């Protein structure tokens, strides 16, 4: 059955069975289906990753180096590259950034293949050792399910945006068994406003996804955490200090990852010594990943085994087992050195995985780094401060997970609720709040946007909770520009101008050269006193009548910048040119205000 036939069948089914439902109630039905799909995708992905990792590593030694760590990650990235190149034939990286872009600039349209391709690619990447997380690909998958269901039933752009949020919320809720965190993630990271009309669909997707996952894998928390002691008030300074440390580690992770991604983009843009850019990226990425995993086996895959160990270890022997399979095995005195080196190397391993051609996200790396940072902080604190200021190391490992996630994602509430639900650590809610807020405030001093949003923010394509900026982001150049098919040339006479004025409703006319590059404009108000005087038709030329515009806009300018230029120049009409100065059209302030008003009404109609 062709895609068009499927759409027709879905519309017929809705008309036959659900026409009695109002649009808002029908949206609840779709939100339920989206929750089911997101949960199923998460369950399948986790199962595939587990099976691949078990088959590859079940007989690895715990006491010595395992040389196959140098092979498996490179094979995984290669298989992912081949899958993307020959089957997907599209970019499927940076899942959450893609969702933000779809919401901001593409009316929440996500390609159909994203409903399954991210699952396959990330399963292979992570199963073979890629040092990234499975959560972002599942978030993209869930959002793609919501987007494509919305398109099938021809829902409005606003409803599509909500379904994209439902898919993301369901994905986080299902894969982490954390329904509250799923809801908060959509509000903080995807920046979808919480209104009465959006709350219920999001909740339905979250609860549905969590219930399906509970039914399949049990009701236990994702990470078992048996510590029930409530942190004493005397440990508040340690919590605040941990938050600052987590913010600084998050800053290191964010900036280093951005820097490395820039290097990979530069590498992929040029061919060197007959080697294509993509091949260079693969060779560099797979080499970095393989070497870092060989030296620090904890970097293999998502790293959740190390998180379990640091949360539930009870003795020195337990902690030392973190170095099993590495060159550090059996060296108890080097545990902290090993863990600090893992923190420093993790960002290289994660960036190399995606930069080399793999597919994965930063949810798991954030949790992984946070857990280690919290444990290391507590161990150093307990070593150098008096015994009466002792802090439990496993509790601070839990708090560190919250701090890193809050810092990297700029989402303090998501960090709080996710860690509380992941570990059933509700007894530490106040401590989670302190660490989360401190980490968030620390990184905000240096980075205004999260690692997901900064790429879009630099291009002016980020939708935010600032209503004015969000409306401008939703506006497109095509919606406000007026294109012209007639031009004036500098050597034309006043009579030629009069002919255009007589047959046009415009009040401003572009003057171009033979390459259609804009060289000036003629305003009707400026020539009104001469334009209909026949005795002057052959005496005056356009170059004598034209003026220079107050400013020229570029076709790639953001709407935020365009509005600022209008405000600065006090102009009512400005020309638009391309990168070569070729005239494209005019934008009128009245048109911007009209489109803005319409979008504002749609945006606020709740």
Query: How does pLDDT run across 384-399, given as a tens digit for each residue?
Result: 998 888 898 989 999 9
Among the ranges given (72-86, 223-237, 242-256, 516-530), the one the predictor scored with the smallest mean pLDDT: 223-237
Taking residues 509-515, report their average pLDDT: 90
**Residue 274 CB partners (closer than 8 Å, separation 6+):** none
Q: pLDDT averaged over the chain?
A: 84
Among the ranges given (452-456, 530-534, 562-566), the one the predictor scored with the smallest mean pLDDT: 452-456
> Would you identify the CATH topology of the domain 3-217?
Clc chloride channel (1.10.3080)
504 pLDDT band, cuts 50/70/90, is confident
CB 6 within 8 A of CB 152: yes
pLDDT for res 339: 95
- Residue 274: is its pLDDT beyond 70? no
Taking residues 118-147, report their average pLDDT: 92
CB 436 within 8 A of CB 401: no
Enter the DSSP assignment of 508.
E
**Residue 558 CB partners (closer than 8 Å, separation 6+):** 459, 460, 461, 472, 473
Q: Is 4 exposed, middle or buried (0-12, 13-18, 19+ CB in 10 A)?
A: exposed
Compute φ and ψ for 482, nearest 5 degrees.
-110, 115
CA distance 105 to 10: 27
465 pLDDT band, cuts 50/70/90, is very low
Taking residues 537-562, report their average pLDDT: 86
CA distance 73 to 557: 41
Q: What is the chain's Cα-based Rg?
A: 29
In order of 39, 43, 76, 166, 595, the CA distances from 212 in angstroms are: 6, 9, 30, 15, 43
369 pLDDT band, cuts 50/70/90, is very high
7-34 pLDDT, tens digit per residue, is 556 555 555 555 545 567 788 889 999 9
Among the listed residues 447, 450, 474, the one whose alpha carbon sits nearest the alpha carbon of residue 463 = 474
Higher pLDDT, 2 or 240: 240
| Per-residue tokens: 566 | 């209008």
> Would you identify the CATH topology of the domain 233-458?
Clc chloride channel (1.10.3080)
Taking residues 238-253, report their average pLDDT: 96
H or E element that contains 383:
helix 363-384
Q: Is 534 exposed, middle or buried (0-12, 13-18, 19+ CB in 10 A)?
A: exposed
- Max CA pair span of the chain: 103
| Per-residue tokens: 440 | 């968030």
Among the listed residues 19, 8, 37, the one whose alpha carbon sits nearest the alpha carbon of residue 154 = 8
Residue ranges in 18-134 assigned as alpha helix (H): 23-57, 72-83, 95-105, 117-127
Higher pLDDT, 480 or 233: 480
pLDDT for res 13: 56
**Residue 200 CB partners (closer than 8 Å, separation 6+):** 28, 31
pLDDT for res 124: 95
Among the ranges given (168-177, 207-216, 329-338), the one the predictor scored with the smallest mean pLDDT: 329-338
In order of 48, 136, 345, the CA distances from 125 in angstroms are: 11, 13, 18
Higher pLDDT, 137 or 225: 137
CATH homologous superfamily for the domain 469-604 = CBS-domain (3.10.580.10)
Whether 3-217 and 233-458 share one fold: the answer is yes
DSSP for 175-212 reads HHT-HHHHHHHHHHTS-----HHHHHHHHHHHHHHHHH
Portion of the chain with pLDDT greater than 90, in percent: 41
DSSP for 290-306 reads HHHHHH-GGGSTT-HHH
How many other β-carbons are positioned within 10 Å of the β-carbon of residue 15?
A: 9
Enter the DSSP assignment of 219.
S
509 strand-pairing partners: 522
CB 405 within 8 A of CB 418: yes
CA distance 209 to 204: 8
| Per-residue tokens: 157 | 């752009």
327 pLDDT band, cuts 50/70/90, is confident
202-244 pLDDT, tens digit per residue, is 999 999 999 999 999 887 777 777 665 666 677 899 999 999 9
**Residue 50 CB partners (closer than 8 Å, separation 6+):** none
CB 555 within 8 A of CB 580: no
Coil/strand/helix, residue 523: strand
- Residue 52: is its pLDDT beyond 60? yes
pLDDT for res 226: 67
CB 99 within 8 A of CB 143: yes
pLDDT for res 45: 93
Higher pLDDT, 415 or 458: 415
Buried b (16+ CB within 10 A) or exposed e, 335-366: beebbeebbebbbbbbbbbbbbbbbbbbbbbb
314 pLDDT band, cuts 50/70/90, is confident
Taking residues 116-136, report their average pLDDT: 92
In order of 3, 221, 557, the CA distances from 424 in angstroms are: 44, 6, 48
What are the sequence ranges of the domains in the chain?
3-217, 233-458, 469-604
CA distance 543 to 479: 31
**Residue 481 CB partners (closer than 8 Å, separation 6+):** 576, 584, 585, 586, 587
- Residue 460: is its pLDDT beyond 60? no
Among the listed residues 297, 290, 321, 289, the one whose alpha carbon sits nearest the alpha carbon of residue 308 = 321
| Per-residue tokens: 36 | 């089911």
Coil/strand/helix, residue 1: coil
Higher pLDDT, 187 or 595: 187
């Amino acid at each position: 059955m062709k895609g068009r036939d499927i759409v027709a069948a879905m519309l017929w089914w809705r008309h036959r069975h659900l026409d009695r439902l109002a649009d808002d109630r029908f949206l609840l039905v779709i939100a339920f289906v989206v929750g089911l799909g997101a949960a199923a995708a998460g369950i399948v992905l986790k199962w595939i990753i587990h099976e691949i990792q078990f088959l590859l590593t079940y007989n690895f030694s715990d006491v010595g180096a395992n040389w196959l760590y140098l092979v498996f990650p490179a094979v995984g990235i290669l298989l992912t590259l081949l899958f993307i190149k020959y089957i997907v034939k599209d970019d499927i990286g940076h899942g959450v950034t893609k969702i933000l872009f779809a919401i901001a600039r593409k009316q929440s349209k996500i390609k159909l293949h994203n409903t399954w391709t991210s699952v396959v690619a990330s399963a292979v990447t992570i199963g073979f050792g890629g040092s990234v997380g499975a959560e972002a690909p599942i978030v993209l998958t869930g959002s793609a399910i919501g987007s494509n269901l919305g398109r099938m039933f021809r829902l409005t752009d606003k409803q599509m945006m909500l379904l994209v949020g439902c898919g993301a919320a369901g994905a986080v809720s299902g894969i982490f068994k954390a329904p509250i965190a799923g809801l908060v993630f959509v509000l903080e990271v995807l920046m979808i406003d919480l209104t009465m009309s959006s709350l219920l669909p999001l909740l339905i997707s979250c609860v549905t996804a969590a219930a399906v996952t509970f039914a399949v894998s049990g009701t236990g928390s994702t990470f078992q955490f048996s510590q029930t002691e409530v942190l004493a008030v005397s440990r508040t300074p340690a919590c605040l200090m941990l938050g600052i440390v987590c913010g600084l580690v998050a800053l290191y992770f964010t900036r280093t990852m951005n820097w490395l991604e820039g290097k990979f983009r530069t590498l992929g843009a040029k061919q060197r010594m007959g080697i294509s850019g993509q091949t260079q990226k693969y060779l560099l990425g797979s080499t970095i990943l393989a070497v870092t995993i060989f030296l620090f086996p904890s970097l293999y895959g998502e790293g959740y085994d190390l998180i379990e160990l640091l949360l539930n270890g009870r003795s020195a022997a337990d902690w030392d087992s973190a170095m099993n399979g590495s060159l550090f095995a059996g060296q108890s005195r080097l545990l902290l050195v090993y863990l600090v080196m893992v923190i420093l190397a993790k960002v290289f391993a994660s960036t190399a995985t995606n930069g080399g051609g793999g597919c994965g996200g930063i949810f798991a790396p954030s949790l992984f780094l946070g857990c280690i940072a919290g444990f290391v902080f507590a161990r150093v604190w307990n070593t150098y401060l008096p015994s009466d200021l002792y802090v439990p190391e496993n509790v601070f490992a839990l708090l560190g997970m919250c701090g890193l996630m809050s810092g990297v994602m700029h989402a303090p509430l998501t960090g709080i609720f996710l860690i509380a639900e992941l570990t059933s650590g509700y007894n530490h809610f106040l401590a989670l709040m302190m660490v989360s807020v401190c980490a968030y405030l620390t990184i905000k001093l240096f980075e205004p946007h999260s690692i997901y949003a900064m790429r879009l923010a630099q291009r002016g394509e980020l939708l935010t909770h600032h209503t004015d900026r969000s409306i401008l982001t939703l506006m497109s150049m095509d919606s406000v520009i007026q294109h012209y098919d007639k031009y004036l040339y500098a050597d034309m006479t006043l009579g030629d101008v009069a002919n255009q004025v007589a047959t046009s409703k415009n009040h401003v006319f572009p003057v171009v050269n033979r390459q259609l590059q804009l060289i000036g404009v003629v305003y009707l108000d400026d020539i009104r006193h001469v334009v209909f005087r026949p005795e002057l038709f052959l005496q005056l030329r356009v170059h004598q009548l034209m003026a220079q515009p107050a400013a020229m806009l570029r076709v790639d300018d953001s709407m935020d910048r365009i509005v600022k230029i209008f405000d600065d120049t006090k102009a009512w009409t400005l020309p638009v040119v391309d990168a070569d100065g070729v005239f494209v059209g005019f934008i009128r302030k009245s048109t911007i205000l009209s489109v803005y008003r319409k979008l504002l009404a749609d945006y606020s109609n709740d």
